[in-house]
Amino acid sequence: MRNLPRTAFTLAGLALAAGTALTAVSPAGAATTAPMQLPSPFSEGFIVNANSGKCLVPLRDNLFSNGDVVVQATCNGTVAQAWELIPIGTKTYWDFKGNLPSYRIVNAASGLCLDDKDGISSDGATVQEWACNTTSTTMQWGDFSLPNGNEEIDNLRSSHNRNAPMGLEVPTGSVADDVPVLLYTGWDPQPAAQQWVYQQFA
């Protein structure tokens, strides 16, 4: 996902319908933009599961409302599947790995933030979108880059409470559409279902 000016992209998200395509996708559903590590500046793009090849997206039935569950779905290049990464510096997630580059992750269509629902710290915690604020640790996410170039995306509050990485994962490695993305303890090595590829807009 890559560099469009943040304000311009946010306005574009308001102007476009959620089903409007932003970029071409391949027949398999993978975005045509190149994968890369999560960036330090403001940026927009797609967050794609390394196992399923599907995109992170709020459940389409309730896109603009607080509490909408976040799922994976076949990538289609629409604004509903685009996310803005807003850097918030480095944060301490768990004692034995120190600080991680951290972000609020904002849906480009709804303007709502990726959030650990109710601040739950246990495996299987629900991930939702919610009105953004600058202080909630449930809306703060860390980027742990893996040796293969993929990313583990960990939640600050749940990782701190468990003193262990609590990352976004597609449960059971499902490749089906509309499967909710949940929080699970990170493994070493991480399963592919807990690895993500960031595809920034050119």
In whole angstroms, give the CA distance from residue 67 to residue 128: 5
The answer as to whether 183 is a domain residue is yes
**Burial classification of residue 139, based on how many CB atoms lie within 10 Å of its CB (0-12 exposed, 13-18 middle, 19 or more buried):** buried
The answer as to whether 30 is a domain residue is yes
The answer as to whether 1 is a domain residue is no
pLDDT digits (tens, 9 = 90+) for 125-140: 999 999 999 999 999 9
Q: What is the pLDDT of residue 98?
A: 65
- Non-local (6+) Cβ contacts of 130 within 8 A are 66, 67, 112, 113, 115, 117, 139
Please count the structural domains in the chain: 1
Q: What is the pLDDT of residue 202?
A: 59
Q: What is the pLDDT of residue 182?
A: 98
- CATH value at residue 22: 2.80.10.50
Which of 76, 81, 86 shows the shortest CA–CA distance to 58?
81
pLDDT digits (tens, 9 = 90+) for 82-96: 999 999 999 999 887
Instruction: List the domain range (segments joined by +) for residue 159.
Output: 6-200
Amino acid 123 reads D
* Predicted structure pTM score: 0.83
Confidence of residue 104 (pLDDT cuts 50, 70, 90): very high
pLDDT value at 81 more than 70? yes
The answer as to whether 89 is a domain residue is yes
pLDDT digits (tens, 9 = 90+) for 117-127: 999 999 999 99
pLDDT digits (tens, 9 = 90+) for 10-31: 323 333 344 555 553 443 444 4
Q: What is the pLDDT of residue 5?
A: 28
In whole angstroms, give the CA distance from residue 156 to residue 80: 24
pLDDT digits (tens, 9 = 90+) for 147-199: 999 999 999 999 999 999 999 999 999 999 999 999 999 887 889 999 999 99
pLDDT value at 115 more than 50? yes
